[in-house]
Structure 1
Amino acid sequence: MTYEVIVEGFVLQVEVTYCENTPPCPGTWSSDWDAQGCRELEFKVLSGICYDDDGVRMDVDLLALPLVSLQYGRQIEVALWLEIDAQQRRGRWAA
């Protein structure tokens, strides 16, 4: 699924390639993982735009996208979880 997220002045089109969102089940004794739940996310930045000091729109170079993903990976992941959780609350999430 593709999302649009805004991180540090970049507007990024991000494709979620893997998402596991297992809620915790504290009464489970079978394993620690079941009791604590699991949230994992893998993504790929497809494209991005940014704006210069004058407000002029610029496309992010395709060669720079992996660097943006590496530098702002944690912020992108947080923004993606916010979007995924919001969709889940609205009842639109399909596994």
Structure 2
Amino acid sequence: MTYEVIVEGFVLEVEVTNCDNTPPCPGTWDSDWDFYGSRELEFVVLSGITYDASGARQVVPGYECYQAGQLYAKQIEVDLWRQIDSRTQRQRRAA
């Protein structure tokens, strides 16, 4: 799934390659992971744009996209979880 993430002046197109969103199950004692649940996310920055001081749109080169993904990984992950959780809630309401 592909998402758009805005972080520190970059508009990044990010593909989620792996998403494990296991909810907690307090009634089980098999393992800590089952009891507390787990959330893991892996992503790749596909492309990006930024704007210069005059407001002109500029394409971010591939290596700079990679660097932005590494540098802002935590902020990107937080925004991705926000978008994933929002989508999940909308799907539950629609069902």
TM-score higher than 0.5: yes
What TM-score do you get using the length of structure 1 for normalisation? 0.93
Please tell me whether residue 38 in structure 1 is matched to residue 38 in structure 2.
yes
Superposed structure 1 runs of 4+ greater than 3 Å apart: none
Alignment of 1:61-76 (within 5 A): 61-76=61-76
Structure 2 residues without counterparts, runs of 5 or longer:
none
Quote the offset at 1:35 in angstroms: 0.5
Identity value in percent: 62
Alignment of 1:83-94 (within 5 A): 83-91=83-91
| Alpha-carbon distance in 2 for matches of 1:44, 1:10 | 15
What TM-score do you get using the length of structure 2 for normalisation? 0.93
Q: Higher helix share goes to which structure?
A: 2
| Alpha-carbon distance in 2 for matches of 1:89, 1:28 | 25
Paired position in structure 2 for 1:20: 20
Structure 1 residues without counterparts, runs of 5 or longer:
none
Paired position in structure 2 for 1:7: 7
**Matched letter for residue 80 of structure 2:** L
**Matched letter for residue 26 of structure 1:** P
